[in-house]
Structure 1
Amino acid sequence: MDARALVGELRQFHEEAEDPGIERMPADEELYGALLYAEKRAGSLRALPVEKQKAAALIRVLLWEFLSERLRVHQSTAIDDARSAGAEWRELAPALAVGTPSAAYNKARRLQAGSLTDAVPGTGRVRRTPEAVRQAERRIAEHRAAEERAQAAARQRHHLLAGAAQSLLDQQDALVMDEDVEYWLGEVAEVLPHCTTPTQMLGLSRYLSAALRALRRLEHRTGQPSARTHEAHAACAAVASALAE
């Protein structure tokens, strides 16, 4: 939700109603202050048609709901920071307006649901119960673990592919080449030193694949192996293996 845009709509309603205090309305990014102003000056909108008065009030309802959700997230973060600093649940109970440590713990878990809602992939709003929060935390942990495994696999593939590409370039003098092979190996040499992003890795893979195809076509045409040494043959095999990962 674009809260700033909605505050801007509220401002337009007040300007249209010729609210004499509009110059004192806080800036669009100052959500809390703008809402307080709109609440205090709601009477100035009576000069507008009733549909516009209703629209302005509904915007206020929506923005207060948005703000209350964000406040829960920030309060949950403050609780986490207090706990990290050594605060006991009995010390948090008065700040959370509850009477016992267990009540403070349960309230904190309910508040945490707000901060977990956006972090749970493919799910809706997390219910504000300790059980739902625990389930959400497990899903988040599983998702993060899967992401870490995928990233580790990508890094390993990157390492293997980049190493194989460099070995192939190092063995160019031991390869029988034509214009196509030279072109694609030139592309590999161009991108390899700066190959860090997934897009660049995809380009490197395509250039290496094209270079291998060109070498195979050359072998088929000449009837002779394109690798003249054991090292060159191993470099070509390493590239093929890395591309198959």
Structure 2
Amino acid sequence: MPLETQHSVPPEQGGNAGSGTRKAAVDRYLTELFSQIDAAPLPDLPSVLISGAVRCGKTKVARRVALRAGFHHLKTDQIRNRTYLNCSENEKRRIAKYVYHRILLQFPKGVLIEGTGIMDAPCELPKWADARGIAFFAIGYSFDTPEAKHRDLLAYRAAQTCWTKNSKSDDEMLRFARRLIRRSTEIKRYCAAQGLPYFDLDSARFDAERDRIMHQIEASLRARHKQQTRPRQQAGILARLQFWR
């Protein structure tokens, strides 16, 4: 799928979620979701998007980051299944844009959304979120051969529960590895062009790589939070100085 940017119009300025009936269903889902998030204790940290290629460890990284920081963890597959699974491609894009914008406008802090759906065409969400102080990170596997990734994929599914075990032969997994590397390369180029962070994960050293990326994401979030809170602190100091004049 192509990776490109598109000017984003927030829903409250003319976004459209399709027909009135479907929009009402989407809004009911969002009301229910917002109630669940409101009931949870949320960290005072910017919300986070984690995306990238399939089978590159992003779910495990996201789960660890969410658990350690206390983020409310949402998955794009679950959001898609509740809102736009059986729609046309054009309607899917409209609804996805509407749903993700509403979630992130409502919760600019405390929520972590993870999944490949974040980077669905036209791939406007990462840049839109980054411009509003919401962190974005991509994970891929672009640096090695298809044979090496094929080896790692087979080793993983031999030891772990994996959806590919019953649906893909070993030969199909090699073709899958080629597509995965190609997709990771596309994502890496997109992130470089947009100035967004991208991590290559070496699945031959999965646990160590997962922890490395997790710690880098956490450090980036702390730095972003510090940067976002500094202007408010400085404004308070200036106000006190003005008062004592």
State whether TM-score is above 0.5.
no
TM-score (norm 2): 0.23
Whose strand fraction is larger, Structure 1's or Structure 2's?
A: 2
Higher relative contact order (CA 8 A, sep 6+): 2
Structure number with bigger Rg: 1
Whose helix fraction is larger, Structure 1's or Structure 2's?
A: 1
TM-score (norm 1): 0.23
